[in-house]
């Protein structure tokens, strides 16, 4: 059996057609119709790299791990599958993963980096004139020194784009298809493919017709890459709406190219022998709590809620909407359960002899027992259980933690600021803090959150 995971960065579920959103996403919707939709999926550790660590280690790490490299003690999904003889590939334009210090290509047989996304130092600045004013706006403060060269770098990286196929999501998909076509000439089983698309992450710069597809028009500038921060004094409500329209157009563009990939998977005869997942690492704020982009580590619904669709080749869960709380840490246990690879795992490593700093070749091998703290979702797909956890936990850089159950959300700033409690049954967008009106509920959730965090081990 094979596994293909398609990650689309910063994709909000409430924009997708299958989640009730207004964006036309027929290819994602078709995958969802053939699989299971998880309505309450949450990221555990944010943003980009911490989420991928959660996906690939199957362990809760939000209380003590932030934006940092994979640790030597991590035993990743790709490494476990490599040790079981799987042929694997990582195809990505998520350029933070490419930075050598982070080592996110570890364990894959093939790694292809599509360069130039966002502010990747890819095209050398040759001094050519670049007009930033048409689609960018600085804030006129000390942040300008950081953001002006970043904007310029993106414009340089995309300055030679002429057709739709020049754009990043198209290039990622074409590289993934090329790997599948090469690899399936010799095998059509025991394949693991991770397709990591940075889109629809900002800058929101889709080609036409997607660029205009969801633009409400009207006054104000069309900003494809606003400086993160407060909306007030920087963008008008109409400009926020127009920028979100660009984001939605980017989602429609991504869906088109995911359809190209899924069609080729079908044509290659892999579709009915492969577990296929589509998900995202986090969402994106558009002024719901006064900020644009991920300007603050605030664990509100628009940031931590993610889409997650699983199509099982045997039809498990097909057509279901599953309301159970699931999290990014459940990715690795689910895949290993599907492939029949039991845990826990023994992580092999080289142990230095007492009093020696060198690592001689004849050194004995030691190992460390690795326990996954995520849970397999297959029992949910089979209908054997209704839930796998009582709470979903999220955090970012030890700045704010959150806990959610089927009704309540508690956000707990770690700097001593007041906690925030929301009743999602009547306030799904988490706008009215009722912590003072419901202190017993807030106390119960905070205690559960702190106890869970204290129970974790790095």
Angle at 312 between CA 273 and CA 49, to 5 degrees: 100
The pLDDT-based confidence of 370 (bands split at 50, 70, 90) is confident
- pLDDT number for residue 348: 59
pLDDT > 70 fraction of the chain, expressed in percent and rounded: 95
Q: What is the pLDDT of residues 249-286, one digit of tens each?
A: 999 999 999 999 999 999 999 999 999 999 999 999 99
- pLDDT number for residue 73: 85
Residue 331 has pLDDT above 90, yes or no: yes
Q: What is the pLDDT of residues 216-252, one digit of tens each?
A: 999 999 999 999 999 999 999 999 999 999 999 999 9
- pLDDT number for residue 343: 73
Q: Which two tokens stand for residue 282?
A: 């986090």
The pLDDT-based confidence of 44 (bands split at 50, 70, 90) is very high
Domain ranges of the chain: 2-348+366-390
Q: What is the pLDDT of residues 282-319, one digit of tens each?
A: 999 999 999 999 999 999 999 999 999 999 999 999 99
90 class by beta-carbon count within 10 Å (0-12 exposed, 13-18 middle, 19+ buried)? buried
pTM of structure: 0.94
Asked whether 141 and 148 are in contact (CB, 8 A), the reply is no
**What residues contact residue 134 under an 8 Å CB cut-off, 6+ apart?**
none
Task: Cite the DSSP H helix spans in 268-377.
Answer: 301-304, 331-338
Q: What is the pLDDT of residues 144-202, one digit of tens each?
A: 999 999 999 999 999 999 999 999 999 999 999 999 999 999 999 999 999 999 999 99
Q: Which two tokens stand for residue 443?
A: 């106390």
Residue 458 has pLDDT above 80, yes or no: no
Q: Which residues in 308-399 belong to E strands, given as ranges? A: 308-311, 321-327, 345-350, 365-370, 392-396
- pLDDT number for residue 368: 62
Token pair 């899924």 is at which residue? 262
- pLDDT number for residue 371: 83
- pLDDT number for residue 405: 98
Chain centroid to Cα 432, Å, comes to 27
C-alpha distances out from residue 30 to 47, 253, 254, 440, Å: 28, 16, 14, 43
Residue 173's CB: how many other CB atoms inside 10 A?
25
Residue 412 has pLDDT above 60, yes or no: yes
| CATH class name, domain 2-348+366-390 | alpha beta
Q: What is the mean pLDDT of the chain?
A: 94
DSSP string spanning 118-169? TT-S-S---------TTT----SSTTHHHHHHHHHHHHHHTTT--SGGGSHH
The pLDDT-based confidence of 128 (bands split at 50, 70, 90) is confident
The Cα 67–Cα 265 span in angstroms is 33
The Cα 371–Cα 449 span in angstroms is 20
Any long-range contacts for 173-176 (C-beta under 8 Å, 24+ apart)?
Answer: 173/197, 173/257, 173/258, 173/260, 173/261, 175/91, 175/112, 175/114, 176/89, 176/91, 176/261
Residue 181's CB: how many other CB atoms inside 10 A?
12
C-alpha distances out from residue 72 to 130, 261, 375, Å: 42, 33, 23
- pLDDT number for residue 367: 59
Residue 342's CB: how many other CB atoms inside 10 A?
8
Q: What is the pLDDT of residues 51-77, one digit of tens each?
A: 999 999 999 999 999 999 999 889 999
């Amino acid at each position: 059996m094979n596994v293909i995971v398609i990650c689309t960065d910063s994709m909000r579920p409430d924009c997708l057609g299958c989640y009730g959103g207004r964006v036309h996403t027929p290819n994602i919707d078709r995958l969802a119709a053939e699989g299971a939709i998880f309505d309450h999926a949450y990221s555990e550790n944010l943003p980009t790299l911490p989420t991928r660590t959660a996906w690939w280690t199957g362990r809760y790490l939000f209380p003590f791990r932030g934006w940092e490299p994979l640790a030597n003690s991590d035993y990743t999904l790709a490494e476990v599958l490599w040790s079981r003889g799987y042929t694997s590939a990582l195809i990505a334009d998520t350029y933070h993963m490419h930075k050598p210090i982070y080592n996110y290509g570890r364990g894959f047989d093939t790694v292809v980096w599509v360069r130039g996304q966002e502010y990747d130092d890819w095209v050398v600045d040759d001094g050519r004139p670049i007009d930033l004013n048409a689609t960018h706006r600085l804030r006129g403060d000390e942040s300008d020194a950081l953001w002006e060269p970043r904007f310029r770098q993106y414009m340089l990286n995309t300055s030679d784009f002429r057709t739709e196929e020049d754009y990043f999501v198209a290039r990622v998909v074409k590289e993934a298809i090329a790997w599948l076509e090469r690899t399936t000439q010799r095998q059509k089983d025991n394949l693991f493919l991770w397709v990591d698309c940075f889109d629809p992450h900002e800058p929101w710069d889709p080609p036409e017709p997607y660029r205009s597809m969801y633009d409400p028009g009207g006054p104000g500038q069309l900003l494809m890459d606003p400086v993160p921060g407060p909306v007030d004094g920087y963008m008008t409500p109409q400009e926020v709406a127009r920028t979100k329209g660009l984001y939605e157009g980017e989602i429609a563009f991504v869906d088109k190219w995911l359809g190209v990939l899924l069609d080729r998977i079908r044509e290659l005869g892999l579709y009915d022998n492969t577990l296929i997942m589509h998900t995202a690492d986090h969402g994106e704020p558009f002024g719901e709590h006064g900020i644009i982009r991920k300007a603050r580590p605030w664990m509100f619904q628009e940031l931590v809620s993610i889409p997650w669709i699983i199509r099982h080749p045997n039809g498990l869960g097909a057509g279901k909407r599953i309301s159970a709380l699931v999290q990014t840490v459940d990715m690795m246990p689910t895949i290993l359960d599907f492939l029949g690879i039991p845990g826990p795992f023994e992580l092999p490593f080289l142990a230095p002899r007492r009093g020696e700093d060198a690592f001689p070749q004849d050194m004995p091998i030691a190992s460390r027992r690795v326990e996954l703290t995520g849970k397999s979702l297959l029992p949910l797909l089979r209908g054997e259980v209704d839930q796998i956890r009582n709470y979903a936990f999220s955090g970012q850089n030890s700045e704010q933690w959150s806990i959610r159950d089927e009704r309540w959300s508690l956000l707990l700033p770690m700097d001593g600021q007041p906690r925030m409690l929301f009743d999602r049954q009547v306030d799904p967008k988490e706008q009215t803090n009722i912590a003072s009106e419901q202190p017993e509920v807030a106390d119960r959730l905070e205690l559960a959150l702190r106890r869970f965090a204290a129970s974790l081990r790095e």
